Structure 1
Amino acid sequence: MEMELDDQGHMVVRPLLTDLYQATMGLGYWRAGRACEEAEFELFFRHCPFGGSFALTAGLQDCIRFLRAFRLRDADVQFLASVLPPDTDPAFFEHLRALDCSRVSVRALPEGSLAFPGVPLLQVSGPLLLVQLLETPLLCLVSYASLVATNAARLRLIAGPDKRLLEMGLRRAQGPDGGFTASIYSYLGGFDSSSNTLAGQLRGVPVAGTLAHSFITSFLGSEVPPDPMLAPASSEGPAVDLPASVNLWLKRVCIYLGLEEREPHPGERAAFVAYALAFPRAFQGLLDSYSVRRSGLPNFLAVALALGELGYRAVGVRLDSGDLLQQAKEIRGIFRTVGAEFQMPWLEFVPIAVSNNIDEKELARLAQKGSEVNVIGIGTNVVTCPKQPSMGCVYKLVSVGGQPRIKLTEESQKRILPGSKAAFRFLDSEGSLLLDLLQLAEEPPPKAGQELRVWLQGAQEPCTVKPAQVEPLLRLYLQQGQVTAPHLRLHQG
């Protein structure tokens, strides 16, 4: 799939990425003479995802970019003309051609904010027909971005602050756009880096990666490097024949580990040597192509020690099968003793990375106290959000012409609060969250130290709260089509 990019390298979301009924309702508004009435919609969710207690809001900068570029092309209008009634007044299509977001305003929670049910992630106001047309693309831009950011934040909380989390789910994602979005917003949610190079190029996400089993198994051991010589890291002194040095180190390592020299796989060793010659300052090994204990580990040690003699330090190993926690513990112990035996103490601290369909349960195990795992690669279980496939965001009309609008329904939980609203976060004296308050926009804002009676969501009786701090939640990001506040840059998330 070829992605359409704007002049800054960002993916383009076109106005027709929408549901047909937005256009049919638009025609209905226009025929009723209501297309230009001022209206306000709110985008929010009803339940916290994953059975949790919070969400992170994401996708704001994509929404602002979409709104600023919103125009229907001639081809777009021609397609709509082909699917709407053939007797539709041509003036309606001229109205569509003239649409832009110069009369649209957006208030929103800042990118990466904690969000809770019912509190608007976006408030979108403008001409009724136009802001109706915006519903589906805005939901599409916000819902999955917020879902994957929340999923990533949950995984970060489980992992704790010290483990490095690598998102590596592009190949498992629901299409190119899904993979790209997941890489961006897993970073916003707390991951350290992504394997997705396009996310690095276009959105500044730090990229990282190791190597695959295919690289290792492609070598037989008979390959001769075209240039086997490697100069010392300091550039002082003669270059060394790295494969020959590795073979000498392998003898010493095997004796120390109690292995026969023929046990480590020669093809794996040749692959490690080739990788080391290409990346002497960033050498890392994938240890489980054949046998971790009898092949991957001794081959890695032989290459790492040969590099160490030249002043280079290996940057890591990865495990992709078996009991990752136990293997990491055993490998750390061997690194410690081998480093001491051969006077290379840095070897003890070589990072150990793991991967293998890691979910929340396995992540908690890998993050427990005493774990020797440093880096955790997660793919499927961050990008696909398997515990909940959708955020369940909705986009509801709350006012037209300054008059509140309400949806009454057979299900009480699907009723909406009418009218334009303001939102505030109440904190206690230690800065801990008490609650988020919704009120009508025209009501006086609450003040710190003021005792208030509030109705908690779903409660039958009010309660009293006295916040030590009050923070307004919704910021004006777009006013009459003009950006009024910088949205959060991704690296600040």
Structure 2
Amino acid sequence: MFGGCRAHPLLTDLYQFTMAYGYWKCGREQDEAVFELFFRKNPLGGEFTVFAGLQDCLSFLSTFCFSQEGQSPRMGEGEFTTGSESEFIVVNVGFLRSVLPADVEPGFYSYLLNISASDVTLRAVPEGSVVFPQVALLELEGPLAILQILETPLLTLVNYASLVATNAARFRLAAGTDRRLLEIGLRRAQGPDGGLSASRYSYIGGFDGTSNVLAGKMYDIPLFGSLAHSYITSFTSMSEVKVQELATASGERPTADFPSLCREWLARVCCFLQVPEHQTNPSEFAAFVSYASGAPRNFVGLLDTYNVMRSGMPNFCAVALALNQLGYTARGLRLDSGDLGWQSLQIRRTLQSCADRFGVPSFSSVPIIISNDITVKDLIELQHKPNAVDSVGVGTHLVTCSSQTSLGCVYKLTQVNGKARIKLTEDKDKTTLPGKKRAYRLFGPDGSPFLDLLMQDTESVPRAGEEIRCHALHGGKGSLAVTASRVEPLHHIYYQHGQVTRDSPSAAEIKKFVQESLSDLPPQHKLLQEAVPYQVAVSAMLYALLCEFTEERVSQP
């Protein structure tokens, strides 16, 4: 099943159609072309990127077509649609007639009605791969006009997905392997589509769960939820707690009065903690009792509505211990303000003391969850000071990628009718690499990758154990001679002859692959600050072709 974030042919820039018309007008629409989708610089101040969005690209290609007004284009198996969405995605050639110049010949619209992606071949790195600048994420080969129309939708599907997955991977590195990461950014995301994409690609990048129910349904992502401050502040007293009886976890018998049991525990807890019971907030206590009675197997307390240690903690402990007496276990407690690391230590000590005092060993390990505009920097700092945090909820700075708004992927023509093409510009960083290429990852004796090599399509495949002459890109060491212990091709065919050629992994499988890819990468390239750039190089033959183009430019008057 493909991803649910879908583009359609009108989700593009107008100039894609004006260029396609230009190709068609001069009879070049069927010219055999090659385009590459890549990025020029790693995002977020790091030195690696996680590639994501491939399944959405395959879904788009599988359903790519135009229709007359009132006709629905083909729908891919497993796509999420509603009636209103089905009406929306009707790709109306009549609309194009209304926005393109009046002198566009009618034959162009007939041409659009008969095209699809069946003549397109898509090669790509596997989704979830760790990737680097200048190495194509996607390579597309097919008719020139069709590949031109595909540009903007493919960039839309890859740019945000890869940026969010990379951001999530950085959060995972900052948090360490043992701490749970929960994505809670739906309300802060860039609209419904952005929120759904963020949940999926945050999970792929290394998060453990999401609060987004639709994402949980569509992508089988574990769901997590607690309660908000509004629930707590909505209560004023115990008179608003309507549920009086609560069955034991085993279901053998009901308790006579759950609120009374909670009151008994509150008196015991306050006495033990030496907190005057009148200092605890009664509305907060009522909210906890009400929430626990409605969801005894999913009780999570939010402690900072009023005062964490004098009110939130005693109230939580009382209700959680009452649940424990009935055979239930509290799922956790959450902090959303203040010095989260210091408070977590205070809370853990209190939980341990209550566990010892009341003979409930499991109480000492109740998970502590923190939130409150958490950033990668916050998690790095948390790692370097004492704390007892088990889980972290991350929203705004994850889904909006606040430290960088776009990955900056580009889509460039590299070959037409078998002849290499290049973009030469005043900005050397924007000069493209000419020709159809193949990419290989070279591994050292320790099994770690050390260089990605770009070669012309006609060159022989590099072999392990043989010296390879190449030239480093972007501030490297110039001419290189390297020998690899293992060589792997980076690109595989994923779409050809109108068919997806490889099985689509689940989100959980891609997530696992991301972590495997990152674990293979040497530590110096994964540092969250001042990381060492990974080396990308071109073969001697490709370098010579590049020099040929650049020298031609210099020689021109």
TM-score bin (small chain): over 0.9
The equivalent of 2:40 in structure 1 is: 46
Partners of 2:459 and 2:36 in 1: CA distance: 18
Contact 2:20/2:145 (8 A) holds in 1: yes
Partners of 2:384 and 2:362 in 1: CA distance: 24
1:71 is matched by which residue type in structure 2?
C
Moved more, 459-468 or 342-351: 459-468
Deviation at 1:227, TM superposition (A): 3.1
Contact 1:318/1:355 (8 A) holds in 2: yes
Partner-residue secondary structure (3-state), 1:10: coil
| Pairing 1:472–2:489 present | yes
The equivalent of 1:487 in structure 2 is: 504
Of 1, 24, 29, the residue aligned with 2:23 is 29
1:266-318 CA-partner distances (Å, limit 9, x unpaired): 11111111111111112110000111111110000000111111111111000
Of 180, 184, 192, the residue aligned with 2:200 is 184
Deviation at 1:487, TM superposition (A): 3.2
The equivalent of 1:346 in structure 2 is: 362
Deviation at 1:370, TM superposition (A): 4.1
Moved more, 403-412 or 366-375: 366-375
The equivalent of 1:173 in structure 2 is: 189
TM-score (norm 1): 0.96
| Pairing 1:200–2:216 present | yes
Of 328, 338, 344, the residue aligned with 1:328 is 344
Moved more, 16-25 or 226-235: 226-235
1:170 is matched by which residue type in structure 2?
L
Deviation at 1:80, TM superposition (A): 1.3
Deviation at 1:238, TM superposition (A): 4.5
TM-score (norm 2): 0.85
The equivalent of 1:59 in structure 2 is: 53
Contact 2:6/2:56 (8 A) holds in 1: no
Partner-residue secondary structure (3-state), 1:476: strand
Deviation at 1:443, TM superposition (A): 0.7
C-alpha root-mean-square deviation of aligned residues, in Å? Answer: 1.4
Deviation at 1:481, TM superposition (A): 1.6
1:374-428 CA-partner distances (Å, limit 9, x unpaired): 0100101101111110101000001111111111111111011111111111111
| Pairing 1:95–2:108 present | no
| Pairing 1:337–2:337 present | no
Instruction: Tell me: CA distance 1:132–1:360, structure 2 relative to 1, closer, same or farther (3 Å).
Output: same
Deviation at 1:251, TM superposition (A): 0.6
Deviation at 1:239, TM superposition (A): 2.3
Partner-residue secondary structure (3-state), 1:28: helix
The equivalent of 1:73 in structure 2 is: 67
Deviation at 1:181, TM superposition (A): 0.8
1:101-155 CA-partner distances (Å, limit 9, x unpaired): 1101100011110000000000011111001000000000000000000000011
Moved more, 381-390 or 228-237: 228-237
Instruction: Tell me: CA distance 1:238–1:68, structure 2 relative to 1, closer, same or farther (3 Å).
Output: closer
Partners of 1:484 and 1:227 in 2: CA distance: 56
1:293-347 CA-partner distances (Å, limit 9, x unpaired): 1111000000011111111111100000000000000000000011100101111
Deviation at 1:198, TM superposition (A): 1.0
Partners of 1:466 and 1:17 in 2: CA distance: 45
The equivalent of 2:431 in structure 1 is: 415
The equivalent of 1:267 in structure 2 is: 283
1:330-409 to 2 correspondence within 5 Å? 330-368=346-384, 370-409=386-425
Of 270, 281, 292, the residue aligned with 2:308 is 292
Deviation at 1:11, TM superposition (A): 4.3
Partners of 1:53 and 1:434 in 2: CA distance: 13
Gaps of 5+ in 2: 70-91, 512-557
Partners of 2:465 and 2:5 in 1: CA distance: 46
Contact 1:163/1:367 (8 A) holds in 2: no
1:57 is matched by which residue type in structure 2?
F
Instruction: Tell me: CA distance 1:374–1:246, structure 2 relative to 1, closer, same or farther (3 Å).
Output: same
Contact 1:42/1:120 (8 A) holds in 2: yes
1:228-247 CA-partner distances (Å, limit 9, x unpaired): 11122122344241100010
The equivalent of 1:4 in structure 2 is: none
Deviation at 1:447, TM superposition (A): 1.0
Instruction: Tell me: CA distance 1:8–1:114, structure 2 relative to 1, closer, same or farther (3 Å).
Output: closer
Partners of 2:447 and 2:231 in 1: CA distance: 51
Contact 1:367/1:373 (8 A) holds in 2: no
Partners of 2:463 and 2:437 in 1: CA distance: 17
| Pairing 1:18–2:12 present | yes
1:122 is matched by which residue type in structure 2?
L
Partners of 1:139 and 1:155 in 2: CA distance: 24
1:35 is matched by which residue type in structure 2?
E
Partner-residue secondary structure (3-state), 1:134: helix
2:137 is matched by which residue type in structure 1?
L
Contact 1:111/1:487 (8 A) holds in 2: no
The equivalent of 2:83 in structure 1 is: none
Partners of 2:16 and 2:174 in 1: CA distance: 41
The equivalent of 1:277 in structure 2 is: 293
Contact 2:51/2:128 (8 A) holds in 1: yes
| Pairing 1:119–2:125 present | no
Contact 1:325/1:365 (8 A) holds in 2: no
Number of residue pairs the alignment of both structures matches: 487
Of 461, 464, 481, the residue aligned with 1:445 is 461
Deviation at 1:225, TM superposition (A): 3.5
| Pairing 1:215–2:231 present | yes
Of 256, 261, 268, the residue aligned with 1:252 is 268
Deviation at 1:8, TM superposition (A): 8.5
The equivalent of 2:535 in structure 1 is: none
Deviation at 1:224, TM superposition (A): 4.3
